[in-house]
């Protein structure tokens, strides 16, 4: 994937980088690295923990 300019689908800032998958926060678009680290990954970790607790692990 090449570096392109895009608008982050979470914070709305114009960024020039590779971009990240915003799931589970958004279904479509790309997010900036800052939103990936501060929003998306935290939510993925929370969902993973809930899933482990639900399955008794």
Tokens representing 30 are 């790309």
Confidence check: pLDDT of 1 > 60: no
Per-residue pLDDT tens over the stretch 9-53: 999 999 999 999 999 999 999 999 999 999 999 999 999 999 999
CA angle 38, 40, 46 (to 5 degrees): 100
Nearest to 18 by CA among 26, 8, 28: 8
In whole angstroms, what is the distance from residue 4 CA to residue 13 CA? Answer: 13
Check residue 4 and give its pLDDT: 78
pTM comes to: 0.84
pLDDT at 7: 97
């Amino acid at each position: 994937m090449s570096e392109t300019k895009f608008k982050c689908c979470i914070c709305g800032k114009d960024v020039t980088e590779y971009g990240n998958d915003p799931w589970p926060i958004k279904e479509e678009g790309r997010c900036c690295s800052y939103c990936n680290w501060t929003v998306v990954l935290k939510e993925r970790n929370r969902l993973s923990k809930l899933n482990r607790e639900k399955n008794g692990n």
